A and B are shown apart, each in its own frame.
Chain A
Amino acid sequence: MNTLLDDLRVIQNEPVDIQYTLKDFKSDQEVRWCPGCGDYAILAQMQKLMPELGVPKEQIVFVSGIGCSSRFPYYMNTYGFHTIHGRAPAIATGLKIARPELSVWMVTGDGDALSIGGNHFIHLLRRNVDINVLLFNNEIYGLTKGQYSPTSSPGHITKSTPMGSLDHPFNPTSLALGANATFVGRTLDRDLKHMGAMLRRSAEHKGTSFLEIYQNCVVFNDGAFFSYTEKETKPEQALFVEHGKPMVFGVGNDKGIKLDGFTPTVVKLSDGYSVDELLVYNERDLTLATIVSNMTTTPGMPRPFGILYAADRPCYEEEVSRQLATAVERRGNGNIQSLLNAGDTWTIS
């Protein structure tokens, strides 16, 4: 029997000639983030990327939780679902299992994904549902006006921590690796080129792609990431990894990373080291990804950005569909009447 969704898929599969521009992805809703908020830049990059992906916009869905960041779907002229705090991973999972053919994106915040939604977040990653997750990390609760979050630095003074935060923070990329994510990346709201490239890689990855985006909250945590985004400090503090390339950073790429056992160390190329002795990044190496991700919290080390890890693993929703197909192969298409008639029956005449 054909279901309503089977009928719809016939329409979906009709070839369409799509030539989108950025404008096609702007919704009619007025954007309501604070002026200067890092969310604007992310939205703009997303709207810029969309036409290049060649996916019909009716096949795209943005799902979000609650927070400033989670307003994102309202501004994209695609399908969108602004759900409840922390639950976007589960809602997106249900949607993707029911409709594997859709392109599903999820937008979340550091509180939404890592605090109230921490459970769903890790389970989404381990299942590897083909969803692109964008975590806007501003190290603060924006929407509720400035409490500390699970990524806030220890000692951070906020409305709810007048004497400084006592919580030890999560490093989201290490958390994601620990949860067996198949794609882990990090980028910044103020590096448009890098962000554009990272968004594209996220879109291309099959499986859950987790992209952490450092996002400046001008109102409640202004400048939290300036050491990685502003030109005075960025070269020394940020290290952009690239697959197959040596790990270099610093002004004029004058520094690099070498492994000392399992411990990464900074070496100066001027000290007689050659680029050939540096660690060459391999985004498919989980051990390396774990070591490099952990540099995030190691004092004296530059902070890593880029694709930290990318691996292939079957997608959950495809496996679900495959089991259904196998069941049909083995037992034929289910017939409801014979299902009802099954078991120990008797006839009364």
Chain B
Amino acid sequence: MSNKELRSLDDVVIRFAGDSGDGMQLTGSQFTNTSAIVGNDISTFPDFPAEIRAPQGTLFGVSGFQLHFGSGEIHSPGDYCDVLVAMNAAALKVNLGSLRANGIIIANTEGFNDKNLRLSGYAVNPLEDGSLDSYQLFAVDISRLTAAALKDLQMSSKEVDRTKNFFALGMMYWLYNRPLEPTEQWIKQKFSKVPQIAEANYRAMHAGWNFGETTEIFVTRFDVKPAPMQPGLYRNINGNTALALGLVTAAQKARLDVFFGSYPITPASDILHTLSSLKNYGVKTFQAEDEIAAVTSAIGAAFGGALGVTSTSGPGLALKTEAIGLAVMTELPLVIINVQRAGPSTGMPTKTEQADLLQALYGRNGEAPVPVIAPATPGDCFYAAFEAVRIAVTSMTPVFLLSDGYIANGSEPWLVPDVSELPDIAVQFHTDTEAFQPYARNEETLARPWAVPGTPGLEHRIGGLEKENGSGNISYSPQNHQLMVDLRAEKVERIANTLPLAEVEGDEQGDVLIVSWGGTYGVIKTAVQNMHSRGVAVSHLHLRFLNPLQKNVGEILCNFKHVVVAELNKGQLLKVLRSTYLVPAVGLNKVQGLPFKAEEVEATINDLLNS
């Protein structure tokens, strides 16, 4: 069909950027879904502005969506983009720094009118002054071309303008040789009630595609072959959705009703939204008056025999602190989700960070150990949630699930698990009245029985006052307090018996080990693979379990000359590892509200090896 050159590439990074009203998130996710369907491996990074509807054309109103797709394994959204689609001048200004040298810019010329230039602080139009000469610039009058394609539809110019993202999408589909059918299907479904809008979007997309085909300015198209992936059913999933699905699945495997208490906060609210739509799965969601009520209502529900879950981000977690101590003391199962964001205080709500680790580990009064799990990727949020539920109900303890804004909103292709192959979570309510003791202990796990109201003969009282081991009566005995503090600590430590050993990616011993945790997995892995391909020997240890640490972690650390702990904070896991294992580990730290770039990681390791 096309007489233009088709060149094959291993992987491509595209960044769609425009005004928050330009529909860039939608454009990005459509391109993502289509690329997934053609079989590429993918990683995405949506970058929203903090403002809901920032004034048009301003720098702080720019919304971006970066996606990285390839014919091999893809673990990160990419340090730099190969293509920047800039719908206006502000989008170009904000994102030019993330475009690689000689990268492609596709600019919507209408978005560079006088007003746009002024709002984004350009004195002269960058599309015309030669300042972009080191890039491949394609200036396209997307707005006008879209309007032309829609002219007989009798739509207002505002409505027409709203479809220009589909023109851009169509053009990108042409450039990267993607099928239009998946998005056509989507348009049909999404706008089934407004056929005119459906028609407009459909036409705009086709106009974009045709423009690529006929215009003189593009001489080459690109193709990215499917990646070899494990066979099975896939869907594209982000971390918050995966987490919600993991909770519901685990609850079924444990035969528990879910009670979810939450108070809206970015970037955790989508978990509440998703779960509140699952009422026919027996999920009860409660939007509480604040985070304290959110966590305490979940504790009340857990006392009543439901799976109590609460979700929040940093500021909300600070409010939940005292109640988590109550869950520790009353030894009730509870899952506390913290989708971390840049702090302190309100910080940068839409930006990612990993600076709540020490708060999760230690942020309570008294000796109050709580297990902590951190998912590694968007899809892993499902399995981490499953683990959190398992640990909470088998050890009768609150459990932290530390996600972050980056994996919460980022997405990847996810091999949908077969539910029947997931393990059951063994949990029973206590019903035996014979010599019942509310603080009797399971020999293996040290868990106390879950005896819930409604069970005849087990009437008992619990609370935040120190309890006598066994009877659960209030006790101020010094020896008993020592015993209970020790027991609560050991109960958490014993969870390590149920965890698989930690695995090193790369050599088991050597010069350099990079240790990471949580959502940085993909980028660190990319960096390590890049170094391997250049013949640099580096090993990678990624921790999903932060408390207790897996049993062989200390041993692994000792097998390396240099241990580098990479995290998006000032060195929190680093402190833990140094104090626990007395290893001279060093930190690789970044707190900019942004994920690591693989090149930053590689540079640090190179410096270390060359020093």
A residues touching B (Cβ–Cβ < 8 Å)?
1-5, 7-9, 11-12, 16, 27, 29, 56-61, 63, 66, 73-74, 77-84, 87, 89-99, 101-102, 119-120, 123, 320, 323-324, 326-328, 330-334, 336-337, 339-349
**10 tightest A-B CB contacts, nearest first:** A82-B463, A94-B297, A94-B300, A334-B281, A327-B279, A80-B461, A90-B293, A91-B300, A98-B301, A95-B300
Asked whether, in the complex, the Cβ of A12 is within 8 Å of the Cβ of B282, the reply is no
User: How does the 8 Å CB contact mask read for B460-502 relative to A, with 1 for contact and 0 for none?
Assistant: 1111110000000110000000000000000000000000000
Asked whether, in the complex, the Cβ of B429 is within 8 Å of the Cβ of A4, the reply is yes
> What 19 additional pairs, Cβ within 8 angstroms, besides A11-B431, A326-B279?
A4-B428, A7-B429, A9-B454, A58-B458, A59-B454, A74-B461, A82-B464, A84-B322, A90-B293, A90-B297, A91-B300, A94-B259, A98-B257, A99-B306, A119-B290, A334-B281, A340-B249, A340-B416, A348-B232
Whole-angstrom distance from the CB of B189 to the nearest CB of chain A? 10
* A99 and B417 alpha carbons, distance in the complex (Å): 32
Q: Is B60's CB within 8 Å of the partner chain A?
A: no
Whole-angstrom distance from the CB of B167 to the nearest CB of chain A? 22
* A63 and B256 alpha carbons, distance in the complex (Å): 23
Whole-angstrom distance from the CB of B328 to the nearest CB of chain A? 12
Q: Is B584's CB within 8 Å of the partner chain A?
A: no
Asked whether, in the complex, the Cβ of A347 is within 8 Å of the Cβ of B453, the reply is no
B residues touching A (Cβ–Cβ < 8 Å)?
33, 36-37, 39, 182, 186, 229-237, 245, 248-249, 252, 255-257, 259, 261, 278-282, 284, 286, 288-290, 292-294, 296-306, 308, 322-323, 325-326, 330, 416-420, 427-429, 431, 452-465, 473-474
- Which residue of the partner chain B has the closest CB to A116? B292
Asked whether, in the complex, the Cβ of B454 is within 8 Å of the Cβ of A93, the reply is no
Whole-angstrom distance from the CB of A47 to the nearest CB of chain B? 14
For A341, give its contact among B233, B259, B281, B462 (CB under 8 Å). B233
- Which residue of the partner chain A has the closest CB to B278? A334
Q: Per DSSP, are chain B's interface residues mostly helix, strand or loop, or mixed?
A: mixed
Q: Which residues of B contact A2 (CB under 8 A)?
A: 255
Asked whether, in the complex, the Cβ of A328 is within 8 Å of the Cβ of B459, the reply is no
Asked whether, in the complex, the Cβ of A343 is within 8 Å of the Cβ of B235, the reply is yes
Q: Which residues of A contact B457 (CB under 8 A)?
A: 58
Whole-angstrom distance from the CB of B427 to the nearest CB of chain A? 7
Question: A5 with B257: in contact, given A82-B461, A348-B229 (CB under 8 Å)?
Answer: yes
* A342 and B277 alpha carbons, distance in the complex (Å): 14
Q: Which residues of A contact B474 (CB under 8 A)?
A: 29, 74
For A3, give its contact among B232, B256, B416 (CB under 8 Å). B256
Question: A58 with B299: in contact, given A98-B305, A120-B289, A340-B249 (CB under 8 Å)?
Answer: no
- Which residue of the partner chain B has the closest CB to A321? B284
Asked whether, in the complex, the Cβ of A12 is within 8 Å of the Cβ of B232, the reply is no
Asked whether, in the complex, the Cβ of A97 is within 8 Å of the Cβ of B284, the reply is yes
* A62 and B306 alpha carbons, distance in the complex (Å): 18
Whole-angstrom distance from the CB of A180 to the nearest CB of chain B? 14
Whole-angstrom distance from the CB of A288 to the nearest CB of chain B? 29
Question: A81 with B303: in contact, given A90-B292, A348-B232 (CB under 8 Å)?
Answer: yes
Q: List 18 A-B contacts (CB under 8 A).
A: A4-B305, A11-B431, A16-B456, A58-B453, A66-B464, A81-B462, A94-B300, A99-B301, A99-B453, A99-B454, A101-B454, A102-B454, A324-B282, A336-B419, A340-B249, A341-B233, A343-B236, A348-B39
Whole-angstrom distance from the CB of B279 to the nearest CB of chain A? 4
Asked whether, in the complex, the Cβ of B288 is within 8 Å of the Cβ of A346, the reply is no
Question: A344 with B279: in contact, given A58-B453, A94-B301, A320-B284 (CB under 8 Å)?
Answer: no
Whole-angstrom distance from the CB of B166 to the nearest CB of chain A? 17
- Which residue of the partner chain A has the closest CB to B39? A348
Asked whether, in the complex, the Cβ of B462 is within 8 Å of the Cβ of A82, the reply is yes
- Which residue of the partner chain A has the closest CB to B306? A98
- Which residue of the partner chain A has the closest CB to B282? A324
Asked whether, in the complex, the Cβ of A11 is within 8 Å of the Cβ of B456, the reply is yes
* A95 and B232 alpha carbons, distance in the complex (Å): 41
* A61 and B302 alpha carbons, distance in the complex (Å): 14
* A16 and B457 alpha carbons, distance in the complex (Å): 13
Whole-angstrom distance from the CB of B95 to the nearest CB of chain A? 27
For B427, give its contact among A4, A334, A340 (CB under 8 Å). A4
* A328 and B272 alpha carbons, distance in the complex (Å): 19
Q: Which residues of B contact A92 (CB under 8 A)?
A: 300
Q: Which residues of A contact B299 (CB under 8 A)?
A: 83, 91, 94
For B453, give its contact among A59, A97, A346 (CB under 8 Å). A59
Asked whether, in the complex, the Cβ of A79 is within 8 Å of the Cβ of B281, the reply is no
Question: A346 with B36: in contact, given A93-B297, A97-B301, A336-B248 (CB under 8 Å)?
Answer: yes
Q: Which residues of A contact B463 (CB under 8 A)?
A: 73-74, 80-83
Asked whether, in the complex, the Cβ of A58 is within 8 Å of the Cβ of B459, the reply is yes
Q: Which residues of A contact B326 (CB under 8 A)?
A: 83-84
Whole-angstrom distance from the CB of B513 to the nearest CB of chain A? 33
Most B CB contacts (10 A, CB to CB) among A56, A320, A346 go to: A346
Asked whether, in the complex, the Cβ of A90 is within 8 Å of the Cβ of B461, the reply is no
Whole-angstrom distance from the CB of A68 to the nearest CB of chain B? 13
